[in-house]
């Protein structure tokens, strides 16, 4: 399939870099945190790559831990809660407070991470918006989220 073909293309590169104790190797796993997570495509992609490496006899070459997700849409939160064991935060703009709260109301310290992926919305400052277009600095929902990331 598509992921397997890509793993075949870059397999040698992965072996050389990850086998040499780089970030993502067994000695230094990637610790993933995502914001505006949606379906958490970065975590799903890493899982697919791990599966393809295993099929090719290279199990354990890529190590990662999914540390947390952050998503404010209740439907997407439900998906994330059902499909991932990581901490789920409800609002990126409130993650920097002294005692961040997870999506279930429990105080949860932000875990250590070394890879952060955020896919913020750009609705407020998109060139496609014909009326009341905002700049990032004007904040609005999109700008506030972008600046928090």
What is the per-residue pLDDT for 52? Answer: 92
Q: Please identify which of the residues 28, 36, 70, 122 carries the catalytic annotation.
A: 122
Rounded distance between C-alpha atoms, residue 104 and residue 136, angstroms: 30
Could you confirm whether 70 is annotated as catalytic?
Answer: no
Residue with the two structure tokens 């990637």: 30
Helices (H) and strands (E) in the chain, counts: 4, 4
Helices (DSSP H) in the chain: which residue ranges?
Answer: 2-18, 41-55, 74-83, 140-148
Chain-centroid distance of CA 29 in Å reads: 15
Cα-Cα-Cα-Cα dihedral of 83, 86, 87, 90, to 10°? Answer: -40
CA separation for the pair 103, 134 (Å, rounded): 29
The predicted-structure confidence for 81-104, as pLDDT tens digits, reads as follows 999 999 999 988 888 889 999 999
- Tens-digit pLDDT profile for residues 28-69: 889 999 988 888 999 999 999 999 989 999 888 888 999 999
As a whole number, mean pLDDT of residues 110-114 equals 93
Q: What is the pLDDT of residues 118-146, one digit of tens each?
A: 876 655 545 555 566 555 555 555 545 55
At residue 102, the pLDDT reads: 95
Distance (Å, whole) CA 111 – CA 94 = 15
What's the DSSP call for residue 91?
Answer: -
């Amino acid at each position: 399939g598509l992921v397997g073909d890509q793993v075949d293309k870059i397999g040698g590169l992965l072996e050389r870099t990850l086998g040499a104790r780089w970030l993502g190797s067994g000695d230094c796993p990637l610790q993933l945190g995502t914001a505006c997570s949606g379906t958490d495509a970065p975590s799903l992609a890493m899982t697919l790559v791990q599966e393809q490496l295993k099929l090719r006899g290279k199990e354990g070459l890529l190590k990662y831990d999914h540390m947390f997700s952050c998503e404010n849409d209740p439907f997407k939160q439900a998906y994330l809660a059902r499909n991932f064991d990581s901490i789920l935060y409800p609002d990126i703009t409130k993650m920097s407070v002294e005692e961040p709260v997870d999506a279930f109301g429990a105080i949860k310290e932000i875990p250590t991470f070394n890879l952060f992926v955020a896919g913020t919305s750009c609705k407020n400052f998109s060139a496609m918006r014909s009326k009341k277009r905002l700049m990032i600095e004007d904040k609005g929902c999109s700008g506030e989220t972008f600046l928090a990331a």
